[in-house]
Structure 1
Amino acid sequence: MREITADKAFNISNMIFILFLLAIVCYPLLYIISASISDPIAVNSGRMWLWPIGVSWEGYKRVLQSAEIWTGYRNTIVYTLLGTAINLLVTLPCAYALSKKKLIGGKVVMMLLLFTMFFQGGIIPSYLVVKQLHMVNTIWAIMIPQAAAVWYIIVTMTFFRNTIPQELEEAAEIDGCSVFGVFLRIVLPLSAPIIAVMGLFYGVGHWNEYFTALLYLSNENLYPLQLVLRKILILNQMSSMLSSVKDPLVLAEQARIAEIVKYAVMIVASLPMLIAYPFLQRFFIKGVFIGSLKS
């Protein structure tokens, strides 16, 4: 009876702790959603702390009526899909090759890859390289320099090494399957969890990326969504600060518009990833656990 009571108390304590963590994680998201459709005065005064007050969709209307927003959405979707495809095309074969202990020079290649995790050329040399390759102000400036991440290669390599049975590959080779055939017909179909995980990681990275575009792109028609939203936020703030209008009512209205646009912009930028993540969550958990813990 003592053990049963102790177990119940432990489970209840765990549940309370998990609910507490859930509230900490969910509250900022609920606050941003509520603030995006609430009266800015209620938000700034602190009267709105969870549920919307004075519901208004003006912020979303102003954001979605902007042609720049839709151009940014289009560009970001292209960058995310194309960039993730390039990342997977580079990461998966590289990780599979490095997972083979019989690969000649594999340790040297791995050491060179690890070296790049700790030492980088810096922004100016990277920019000069991209410029010499004539990729500045093109979508390839976003795609090629970030074609693969060393840490993701290591995680994928660990998955291949610990999850794919060596005997299965050897049996396929005995039956006459080439190395590429084994990779395409045997390894990839068994690697759906890690492919989904890498696709999720790379996709989120491309969706949230703005610094690379800020560095290499000057053509506003190529701006990704994050850079467009950054521009809108800065323009709204600067227009409020540098406005020549002296009427307090007009200034208050400009500040109100800037405030509602700010929260609406956050939701518009985050919504697609929030919608996509639940569908990939099971692959994410499975892939991470198999790739890192199985021995």
Structure 2
Amino acid sequence: MWSKKSRGDKVFDIVLISISLLIILVIAYPLYFVIIASFSQPEAVLGGKLRLLPVGFNLESYKMVLTERKVWVGYRNTLLYTVFGTFINLVLTTLAAYALSRKDMPWRTPLTFIISFTMLFGGGMIPVYMVVRNLHLTDTPWAMVIPNAIATYNLLVMKNYFQSSIPEELQEAAAIDGCSHFKTLMKVVLPLSTPILAVIVLFYAVGHWNAFFNAVIYLRNQELFPLQIVLRDILLQNSLEAVGGDLTGMYEKVMRGETMKYALIIVASAPVIIMYPFVQKYFVKGIMVGAIKG
């Protein structure tokens, strides 16, 4: 096949591959640097001696991170918020998307317009906070999962997927067989919607895992803090100790904070990085069909 291509096509392929490899290198090397820096001596990291392999391999930074009780509390809270929050997101988004995708849904077009309009204009931070406070959700786990129960973009992507990828004849056949709308959704639509379900789960799960702003606004109890807030507090604490400590211990604290920073990044990112390969094969298909067609 390569021999049949014209010279111009070969040059184009070479240039395209070269640019792609360059982009991959630019994106991948910072992540690789974080990994090797978390396993290296602090002096080597600050001295700029890292290139391709760890220098002075050690696990002290991970020991310091994992011996912090607050890290495990944050992990527990983030896991709970991610699992239950994603479940709530998926249930509500699926039900709303299925209803809006059906042609026999009354007022479907105006409702879709109203929902889409919220992507352009919102109530603002203060009104939303007042609503959450008046519902007595502040300083409770519900504050991390209820205010963002449905993402408009994800709802529209799933709605478009149902419209373009699920044959209407199947739903009509299910209705003739006596299936209710709920049974049609469970028995016909969802089994054919694995790609979009995987994409929506990934979007919502990553959002909950990285949740930071809502916790700052709504939570005061440290036992409810998610992992991102805990990691921020640890970094700030180490920085303040280094600045306010005596000169003899300042160097050691700076070194400890430098390696802990990279270890914290790995600890916070590892679950999402591990999860992504399991849904990657559905990602492109689901997002392209759901976002373009319909």
Aligned to 1:181: 183
Aligned residues: 292
Aligned to 1:74: 76
Contact 2:160 2:293 in 1 (8 A): no
- Partner Cα separation in structure 2 for residue 289 and residue 246 of structure 1: 57
Structure 2 counterpart of 1:254, one-letter code:
K
- Partner Cα separation in structure 2 for residue 107 and residue 236 of structure 1: 54
- Partner Cα separation in structure 1 for residue 129 and residue 61 of structure 2: 37
Aligned to 1:286: 285
Aligned to 1:38: 40
Superposition map of 1:42-61 within 5 A: 42-61=44-63
Aligned to 1:15: 17
- Partner Cα separation in structure 1 for residue 64 and residue 125 of structure 2: 35
Structure 2 counterpart of 1:45, one-letter code:
G
Q: Where do 5+ consecutive residues of structure 1 fail to align? A: none
What secondary structure is seen at the aligned counterpart in 1 of 2:64?
helix
> Is structure 2 residue 89 aligned with structure 1 residue 87?
yes
Structure 1 residue 6, shift from structure 2 partner: 3.6
Aligned to 2:124: 122
Choose 208-217 or 284-293, whichever is displaced more: 284-293
> Is structure 2 residue 214 aligned with structure 1 residue 212?
yes
Structure 1 residue 294, shift from structure 2 partner: 4.6
- Partner Cα separation in structure 1 for residue 170 and residue 287 of structure 2: 22
- Residues 217-239 of structure 1, C-alpha deviation per residue, up to 9 Å, x if partnerless? 11111111111101101111111
- Partner Cα separation in structure 1 for residue 239 and residue 255 of structure 2: 11
- Partner Cα separation in structure 2 for residue 70 and residue 157 of structure 1: 38
Contact 2:39 2:57 in 1 (8 A): yes
Aligned to 1:158: 160
Structure 2 counterpart of 1:174, one-letter code:
I
Aligned to 2:260: 261
What secondary structure is seen at the aligned counterpart in 2 of 1:117?
coil
- Partner Cα separation in structure 2 for residue 144 and residue 93 of structure 1: 16
Choose 94-103 or 163-172, whichever is displaced more: 94-103
What secondary structure is seen at the aligned counterpart in 2 of 1:183?
helix
Aligned to 2:247: 246
Contact 2:66 2:72 in 1 (8 A): yes
Structure 2 counterpart of 1:256, one-letter code:
M
Identical aligned pairs, as a percentage? 45
Structure 1 residue 5, shift from structure 2 partner: 3.7
- Partner Cα separation in structure 1 for residue 23 and residue 237 of structure 2: 36
Contact 2:116 2:152 in 1 (8 A): yes
- Residues 144-187 of structure 1, C-alpha deviation per residue, up to 9 Å, x if partnerless? 10100001111111100100000111111111111111111100
Contact 2:36 2:53 in 1 (8 A): yes
> Is structure 2 residue 230 aligned with structure 1 residue 231?
no
Structure 1 residue 18, shift from structure 2 partner: 1.7
- Partner Cα separation in structure 2 for residue 14 and residue 274 of structure 1: 27
Structure 2 counterpart of 1:199, one-letter code:
V
What's the Cα RMSD here? 1.5
- Residues 54-105 of structure 1, C-alpha deviation per residue, up to 9 Å, x if partnerless? 2121100000011111111111111000000000011011011111233212
Contact 1:95 1:156 in 2 (8 A): yes
Choose 102-111 or 165-174, whichever is displaced more: 102-111
- Partner Cα separation in structure 2 for residue 203 and residue 137 of structure 1: 21
What secondary structure is seen at the aligned counterpart in 2 of 1:209?
coil
Aligned to 1:24: 26
> Is structure 2 residue 111 aligned with structure 1 residue 109?
yes
Aligned to 2:65: 63
- 1:118–1:293 CA distance, 2 compared to 1 (3 A): closer
- Partner Cα separation in structure 1 for residue 133 and residue 139 of structure 2: 9
- Partner Cα separation in structure 1 for residue 139 and residue 213 of structure 2: 14
Contact 1:193 1:286 in 2 (8 A): yes
Structure 1 counterpart of 2:55, one-letter code:
I
The TM-score, its normalising length taken from structure 1, stands at 0.95
- Partner Cα separation in structure 1 for residue 10 and residue 247 of structure 2: 65
> Is structure 2 residue 195 aligned with structure 1 residue 193?
yes
- Residues 99-119 of structure 1, C-alpha deviation per residue, up to 9 Å, x if partnerless? 123321222222221222121
Aligned to 1:143: 145
Structure 1 residue 2, shift from structure 2 partner: 7.9
Structure 2 counterpart of 1:274, one-letter code:
I
